Structure 1
Amino acid sequence: MTRIGIVVGTTRPGRLGPQVARWVEKTARERADAEFELVDIADYDLPLFDEPRVPRLGVYDHAHTRAWSAKIAELDGFVFVTPEYNWSIPAALKNAIDFVYTEWNHKAAGFVGYGSNVNGARAVEHLRQICGAVQLATAYTQVNLSLWTDCQDFTTFTPAEAHDAVLRRMLGEVVALTTALAPLRGA
């Protein structure tokens, strides 16, 4: 069965990311063609990139890197849930992606962005470029959520019903891409 990780892309205290990721997971679990699991980068306690060798070599000195590598390697695709910080993604998410390389290759990625100005769109556009650099194929459809209209007091996630159809379409694209890329992964 195809396994998709729903990656919580922020580690900040009081973050909205886990609420958004649980919403994605709830909808994703309606599907019978893939298994979905939450992957919270905060659980891996990754410091600022601290490996002495380039990730492309796949040789890791630190236990935190080996644990992160094993998690990413066992997944076939990803849905990144990211806030927009200063027109980009959180540093913690970029750092987590940079820790490994081949573990991302030939897999698919979808995006759920959220923010106050353009609903996370700029963060997702930056993340698309980063994903290309680690050989992740990206879904066309993306979910963009507003901190103004999809949240109460910037603390409680209350998505508009209209986002459900977009989320389902994006999840379908991620599963389809993941399946299509399976021969490249040797699956």
Structure 2
Amino acid sequence: MPKLYVIIASTRPGRVGLPVGQWFVDRAEQHGAFDVELVDLAEWDLPMMAEPHHPRIRQYESQQALDWSAKMDVGDAYVLVMPEYNHSFTAPLKNAVDYLHHEWAYKPVGLVSYGGIAAGTRAQQAIKPVLLTLKMVPLKESVMIPYVGRLRSEDGTGITPTETMESMATALLDELARWALALKPMRETPSVLTRPQGMVAQS
């Protein structure tokens, strides 16, 4: 089965992103189309802009960067679970995305956002140009969770999803599965940007 990474973008103590991410992982496992794994940026704690070389050349120097590259490289699809900070997405998420380049290309990405009345929709719109620049395919289908605090359990460790959330999650996972399969041939064909210098494509 294709590999799906569900990435939690918030690293703040007490964040609601962790139970939201765990809910989506459970939902994705029930869906059955993916080998699903939760990735928590708080646990990775990637240093900010710590690599000296541009990620296009894949000359990572730290073990942490090498591990992050190896981890994301095998992914076939991603879901970003993110809050909205000042009409945008989180700095740890931008940093994690910017660490890599080719590892992201030709892979679909779904967005799960949460917040108050706006449900994180502005964060979704803000990150799409970044993902497109990396040749990712952000999907139209998404999950937007308004007033997420009202869904949280008393102990803060879980959430109670609404029927709308469940329906949006199903639609997103259906499309992720289709796009992961459709884009697989592109991922298996060397890009002109990654061929050795002087090599030309054969017609």
TM-score, normalised to structure 1's length?
0.94
- Rounded to whole Å, the distance in 1 between the matches of 2:131 and 2:113 is 15
Q: Which residue of 2 aligns with 1:117?
A: 117
- Rounded to whole Å, the distance in 2 between the matches of 1:113 and 1:60 is 31
TM-score, normalised to structure 2's length?
0.87
**1:47-62 matched pairs, under 5 angstroms:** 47-62=47-62
Q: Which residue of 2 aligns with 1:63?
A: 63
Asked if the contact 2:6–2:37 (Cα under 8 Å) also holds between the matched residues in 1, the reply is yes
- Rounded to whole Å, the distance in 1 between the matches of 2:174 and 2:71 is 22
Deviates more, 1:138-147 or 1:93-102: 138-147
Q: Which residue of 2 aligns with 1:32?
A: 32
- Rounded to whole Å, the distance in 1 between the matches of 2:86 and 2:160 is 23
Q: 2:178 aligns with which of 176, 180, 183?
A: 176
Shift of 1:63: 0.9
- Cα deviation code 1:108-127 (max 9, x no counterpart): 10010001230010011112
Q: Which residue of 1 aligns with 2:90?
A: 90
Shift of 1:178: 0.9
Is 1:136 the equivalent of 2:110? no
Shift of 1:151: 3.7
In structure 1, stretches of 5+ residues that fail to align are none
Q: Which residue of 2 aligns with 1:185?
A: 187
Q: Which residue of 2 aligns with 1:7?
A: 7
Query: For residue 11 of structure 1, what is the amino acid of its counterpart?
Result: T
Q: Determine what percentage of the aligned residue pairs are the same residue.
A: 33
Q: Is the strand fraction higher in 1 or 2?
A: 1
Shift of 1:34: 1.6
Asked if the contact 2:31–2:170 (Cα under 8 Å) also holds between the matched residues in 1, the reply is no
Deviates more, 1:127-136 or 1:102-111: 127-136
Look up the SS of the partner of 2:4 in the other structure: strand
- Cα deviation code 1:48-106 (max 9, x no counterpart): 11111111111101111111111100111101100111111110000000000100001
**1:141-156 matched pairs, under 5 angstroms:** 141-146=141-146, 147=148, 149-151=150-152, 155=156
Asked if the contact 1:145–1:159 (Cα under 8 Å) also holds between the matched residues in 2, the reply is no
Distance 1:157 1:32, change over 3 A: closer
Aligned length: 187
Q: Which residue of 2 aligns with 1:161?
A: 163
- Cα deviation code 1:15-37 (max 9, x no counterpart): 11110011111111112322111
- Cα deviation code 1:132-171 (max 9, x no counterpart): 1111111111111123543468x55332222101111011
- Max Rg structure: 2
Asked if the contact 2:88–2:122 (Cα under 8 Å) also holds between the matched residues in 1, the reply is yes
In structure 2, stretches of 5+ residues that fail to align are 190-203
